[in-house]
Structure 1
Amino acid sequence: MHFELFHLGPLTVYTYGFLIAIGILAAFFVADRRGKAMGMDTSHLEGITLTVCITGFACSKLLYILTRLPDIIADPGILMNLEDGWVVYGGIIGGLLGGLWYCRRHQMNFMEWFDLLIPEVALAQGFGRLGCFFAGCCYGIPVEWGITFPEGGLAPAGIPLFPSQLISSLFDFGMFFFLCWIAKRKKFNGEVGAWYLILYSVGRFIIEFFRGDLIRGAVGTLSTSQFISIFTLAAGIAILVVMRNKHKGDATKKV
């Protein structure tokens, strides 16, 4: 695996960070193109993207700290590892809160922007999971067949592991294209965002059974992410039902 992509003098560019950056940039440019094609005013795209990234990364780190609090108290040096120590669900929740705050402050329709940006979130996650693969984090359980990581990464070396990062990446890229397809056919604001929450929750719940990095904590027999998936799935279904009923009610009033 190529943990280090290249060097610029004393600066080392890691593959994980590089792919995260590529994912964010790709998401921004795709969102800009899609937004303009939909006739939306994308003048706020830079602002909302920056806000979502800041709150997303902050909450991703915060949730990681909460899930590993006893370990971090015993060894604060854990926080210095920037290749690990991020929880995707924290990023999703933080990003949504940041986006909601930004939209309310600038009197923007949150659900409309939710639908615009969420396919690109899946796109960025696809690149991010590729970064996980090269860093060796988010690795899978031992299997007879699988991917063997070398020394120097975060995954156990020399043991065939389930390719959880690559499966997750393919799933995220697939979600991106599916959500774009939904976006072209949506009947009400919030529909695309709701489907993202539903699909991601189900996919994440399943892939957790094949993850081998259980240091992220657990709630009973469920991993922390599986436990959160239950609530994000419920939130996605609730948004779908509420916004669909609101759409039908508005259509009835117009008649």
Structure 2
Amino acid sequence: MFPVTQIFSVSVSTYAIFIVIGFAVGLLCAFLRRRINGVRADDLVACLFIAAAGALIGGKLFFMVQGFPVFLAHAREEGYTFLEYFMDAGLVYYGGFIGGIVFLILAAKLIKTPVWAMVDTILPSIPLMHAVGRVGCFSAGCCYGIPCDFGVVFDASPIAPHGVRLLPVQLIESACLLVLFFLMLHYGKQKRPPGKVLAFYLVGYGIIRFILEFFRYDAIRGIYGALSISQWISLGLIALGAFFWFLFPQIKRKKTPA
């Protein structure tokens, strides 16, 4: 809708603005919840910024893997370099989530703070940040939905098809993420056993993403068999969430000395 915003006569990506806003509100939410799991404020801020760097790297790398054949073609024909490809690459959420979680765990270990306490403190902020980010997707016209009579025309977008009414699936996902955020906020009001909050998120978002992918229309997602790449990942995350909910607490109890 509005891919570029003017701030003091300077053109700024609206998508980038919403990413920054999302990170800020997520940081605030985690900061207000830090005492539930006994997390120090300075450790929290350090881990969140490191996790954000991991999310950026992971999101870009996942995008690059999906479009690697296109990169090779441009490299052969135009001398397009890998560094240029990395700088131009967009962001794929699942790659960002995986990269963010990996960097978060590494950061927690590096500063010697309890890993699960940090993960459980930050996790409810993820659907909140993601919900704000999806509004940025809507403004940019990326991640658009299927054609429909009551959709939105993204003629200002350099990404979406012009002259076609498309389902604003970005806003639908944003609303679903807000519901997930409030559910996780309620569930995380007290300290939970290791893995439970993560399981709540993996299953919740996995279901949301799996269903909404049927209403996506952007071809860059990639289709393998009857499902998109994100749907296959969603099924894997739902299974992983079931593991963390049912089996992981038992494993932890067996490892903990009596």
> What TM-score results when the alignment is normalised by the length of structure 1?
0.90
What CA distance in whole angstroms lies between the structure 2 residues aligned with 1:16 and 1:48?
24
Amino acid at match of 2:100: G
Q: Which residue of structure 2 aligns with residue 136 of structure 1?
A: 141
**Distance in 2, Cα, partners of 1:119 & 1:20:** 17
Aligned to 1:32: 31
Partner of 1:49: 48
CA distance in 2, matches of 1:179, 1:202: 15
- How many Å separate the matches in 2 of 1:200 and 1:91? 14
Tell me the SS of whatever aligns to 1:13. strand
Question: Is it true that 1:125 corresponds to 2:133 in the alignment?
Answer: no
Question: 1:192 maps to what in 2?
Answer: 197
The equivalences for 1:1-255 within 5 A come to 1-9=1-9, 11-36=10-35, 39-75=38-74, 76=80, 79=85, 85-185=90-190, 187-246=192-251, 253=258
Matched residue SS, 2:39: coil
8 A contact 1:148–1:158 mirrored in 2: yes
Worse overlay, 158-167 or 40-49: 40-49
State the secondary structure of the residue aligned to 2:90: coil
Letter in 2 for 1:4: V
Deviation at 1:13, TM superposition (A): 1.5
Whole-Å separation in 2 of the counterparts to 1:36 and 1:172:
24
Provide Cα deviations, 1:194-222, integer angstroms capped at 9, x if missing partner.
Answer: 11011111111111110000222222221
Contact 2:55 2:100 in 1 (8 A): yes
Structure 1 residues 230 and 22: alpha-carbon distance in aligned structure 2, compared to 1, 3 A threshold: same
Q: How far does residue 134 in structure 1 lie from its aligned partner after superposition?
A: 0.3
Matched length: 251
Unmatched runs of 5 consecutive residues or more in structure 2: 75-79
Q: Residue type matched to 1:18 in 2? A: I
Identity across matched positions, percent: 32
Cα RMSD after superposing both structures: 2.4
Task: Report how far residue 165 of structure 1 moved.
Answer: 0.3
Residue matched to 2:77: none
Structure 1's unaligned 5+ residue stretches are: none
Distance 1:246 1:180 in 2: 26
State the shift of 1:251 in Å.
10
CA pair 152-95 structure 1, distance change in 2 beyond 3 A: closer
Comparing 133-142 with 243-252, greater Cα deviation is found at 243-252
Tell me the distance in 1 between the aligned counterparts of 2:193 and 2:257: 14
